[in-house]
A and B are shown apart, each in its own frame.
Chain A
Amino acid sequence: QSALTQPASVSGSPGQSITISCTGTSSDVGGYNFVSWYQHHPGKAPKVMIYDVSKRPSGVSNRFSGSKSGNTASLTISGLQAEDEADYYCISYTSSITWVFGGGTKLTVL
């Protein structure tokens, strides 16, 4: 159950786009379309932003989008806003009938 690999940090200016990658293996990210992404502000409950690789829950801005290629999933945030600054985590279902998180990415809006 090794953690999925995410960059420790990314940054961008307001209005720009950023992409956060999430790399696993064929036993997790590559094997299932069950990757979801969560936004976490310290001290608050995490919030789902993308599920099933690329689907957006009701109420989540369309500035958030998800995709997957092989063993790597990606979260793209376009038109960056100050309130997007947070920690972002990916999680995937695995062939062991368990779930594994990425290490988390701190997004800084410059």
Chain B
Amino acid sequence: QVQLVESGGGVVQPGGSLRLSCAASGFTFKNYGMHWVRQAPGKGLEWVAFIRYDGSNKSYADSVKGRFSISRDNSKNSLYLQMNSLRVVDTAVYHCAKVSGLNWFDPWGQGTLVTVSS
């Protein structure tokens, strides 16, 4: 079945960097766009970034633009999120999600926790 598994979360100091990964299986990864979505503790879901199926187009939320970079390796069925200049407010569970149809998210991974703290 279609499965997405995130990894790479952890504790990092403000100003630090972290790279998240999302391993995809059960579908032809290279044919689908992918998203990152996050949820800070006690807060709602926030869309973070999108990458087209072939990596040719990317978009970001204003809150992470210039600091985060989304990428993919279709040969490894993997999605990445490089997070630089991390701030305390970036503390959240980060989910990857596959684009379904034209514009919806299904399925989602369980998420990986990123904690930015000194």
**Is chain B a partner of chain A in the same complex?**
yes
- Chain A: residues with CB nearer than 8 A to chain B? 1, 3, 32, 34, 36, 38, 40, 44-48, 51-52, 57, 87, 89, 91, 93, 96-104
B47 touches A89 (CB 8 A): no
Please determine whether B104 and A45 come into contact, CB atoms closer than 8 angstroms. Answer: no
- Chain B's closest residue to A93 (CB) is B103
Question: How many Å lie between the Cα of A29 and that of B97 in the bound state?
Answer: 21
Any A CB within 8 A of the CB of B32: no
Q: What 5 A-B pairs come out closest when comparing CB atoms?
A: A104-B44, A51-B104, A34-B103, A45-B108, A36-B104
Question: Given A45-B109, A51-B100, A52-B103, are A38 and B45 also a contact pair (CB < 8 Å)?
Answer: yes
Q: Which of B61-115 contact A (CB under 8 A)?
A: 61-63, 95, 97, 100-111
Chain B interface SS verdict (over half) = strand
Query: B residues near A, CB below 8 A?
Result: 35, 37, 44-47, 50, 57, 59-63, 95, 97, 100-111
Chain A residues positioned under 8 Å from B108 (CB to CB):
45-47
Contact assessment for A48 and B100 in the assembled complex, using a CB-CB cutoff below 8 Å: yes
Most interface-central of A1, A3, A96, A99 (chain B CB within 10 A): A99
CB closest chain-A residue, reference B44 = A104
Given contact pairs A99-B47, A102-B44, A52 touches B61 in the complex (Cβ within 8 A): no
Among B60, B62, B63, B106, chain A packs the most CB atoms within 10 A around the CB of: B106
Give the chain B neighbours of A87 by CB distance below 8 A: 44
Cβ-defined partner of A34 (8 Å) among B62, B102, B110 = B102
Contact A1 B45 (CB under 8 A): no
> Complex: how many Å from CA A102 to CA B111?
19
B62 touching A44, Cβ below 8 Å: no
Would you mind naming 29 contact pairs between A and B with Cβ atoms under 8 Å apart?
A1-B61, A1-B62, A3-B44, A32-B103, A34-B102, A38-B105, A40-B45, A45-B108, A46-B45, A47-B108, A48-B100, A48-B105, A51-B100, A51-B106, A52-B101, A52-B104, A57-B106, A87-B44, A89-B44, A91-B105, A98-B47, A98-B50, A98-B59, A99-B35, A99-B50, A101-B37, A101-B44, A101-B47, A104-B45
